[in-house]
Amino acid sequence: MFRTVPDLVWAIIFIIIVGLGPAAGVIAVMVDKIGFAGRFFAEAMEETDPGPQDALRAIGASRLGIIGSAVIPACLPSFTATSLFALEKSVRGSAALGLVGAGGIGVDLKVAFDLFNYDEALAIILMMLALVIAVEQGSGWIRRKLI
C-alpha cells in the first residue's frame, strides 16, 4: 500500500492530519520511501546466496548472527544503491510537495509565482536544479566508493 500511493497524495493526507507545514511533507516523504526501499531491500535479501547462510547455520549460528554475518554484508551494495536513489528521488519530489502546502522550498516557489516575482522564482528553480545535480553527483561518488 505504501508504494502504490504517490507522495503528493500522502502529502495531502498528512496535511489533513497534522496541518500545513514541513511536518506533513517530511512524513509524506518518509512513508513513500519506506514502501519504496522496503520492497527493494526485501528482494535483495531474498536473492542472496544461501551458501554462507547454510554454513553459518551448520556451525550453530543464531538467526540474528546469520543475518548480521551473511545476509546484510551480501546485500550492502544493493541497500546503498537503493538508499541513494531514494534520497535523489526525495530531493526531486520535495519541491512539488511544497506546492501543495507540505512545506519546503516549494512554498517559496509558489509564493514567488503568485506575486509575479519571476526573478526570484527563476533563482529558486536554479538553486533546486543545482541541489539535485549536487545530490546526484554526491551519490554517484558514494556508489563508486562503496560498490
Instruction: At 45, list the grid cell.
Output: 535479501
pLDDT for 10 equals: 87
CA angle 12, 14, 19 (to 5 degrees): 95
pLDDT by position in tens, the chain (length 147)? 777 788 888 888 999 999 888 888 889 989 989 888 988 999 999 999 999 999 999 999 999 999 999 999 999 989 988 998 888 888 888 878 887 878 777 888 888 999 999 999 999 999 988 988 998 898 888 888 876
CA distance 100 to 23: 13
pLDDT for 99 equals: 77
pLDDT for 20 equals: 86
pLDDT for 142 equals: 87
Residue type, 74: A
pLDDT for 40 equals: 92
Nearest-10 Cα torsion for 93, 119, 138, 37: 0
**119-to-5, 100, 106, 124, 125 alpha-carbon distances in Å:** 34, 22, 15, 9, 10
Residue type, 65: G
